[in-house]
Amino acid sequence: MNKPRFGVVVFPGSNCDRDAVYALRDILGCPTRMVWHRETDLSDLAALVLPGGFSYGDYLRCGAIARFAPLARSLREFAAAGKYVLGICNGFQILTEMGLLPGALIRNRDRRFRCETVPLHLEPNPSPWTAAYPQTAIALPIAHGEGCYYATAETLQELQNQRQILWRYGVNPNGSVADIAGICNRQGNVLGMMPHPERAVDPLLGNTDGLPLFQGLLACLQS
């Protein structure tokens, strides 16, 4: 069976794009190409990753300029068509700036950049993003200065009612409301998360807790 083709977006300032390509191409063996931020044709792709980094230098606000990239319109159409989009760290920030996910990412509670491995709990919400996990408690790396997820009480209630919260911190590193580390849209095809699953896919690194996320997505695309 031919494996689906993935794309990894590259903005000026992206720095985790090659990590994502490594996870998809070298670990899972999926055809994967890097998508320059000025491209507009995504028709050859089954799923798209917005990686971590500092898109456009994170001037103004994280993800605020990336929302106007030439790619943005095609990305909106890609998501609206039900295709899968994963935003990691800066990618999560971009998805909220674009309105593809609710809420916002703001400065960490302690105003410090946090770079460490944190415990996470998977919420019991059915999703291809978490379907391949045999356990509900894992650990993934984080690396962010503006990773505090904020949402109004109304939005938070809606996220809970629609079962859109997929990841929560076991120990909250940044002040995120309700310990939220990752959410999806109502349709379930767009996921944003602050932890870095692409940095935890190789046994050589001592952690493979990020691998089931990509395996679950791949299984969904092949079903």
Active-site annotation, residues? 89, 196, 198
Closest CA to 218 of 194, 201, 195: 201
Instruction: Determine the Cα–Cα distance for residues 214 and 24; give it in Å rounded to an integer.
Output: 7
Q: What letter would DSSP give residue 202?
A: B
In this structure, are residues 132 and 213 in contact, taking their beta carbons and an 8 Å threshold?
yes
Q: What letter would DSSP give residue 209?
A: T
In this structure, are residues 196 and 142 in contact, taking their beta carbons and an 8 Å threshold?
yes
Instruction: Determine the Cα–Cα distance for residues 190 and 82; give it in Å rounded to an integer.
Output: 9
Q: What letter would DSSP give residue 198?
A: G
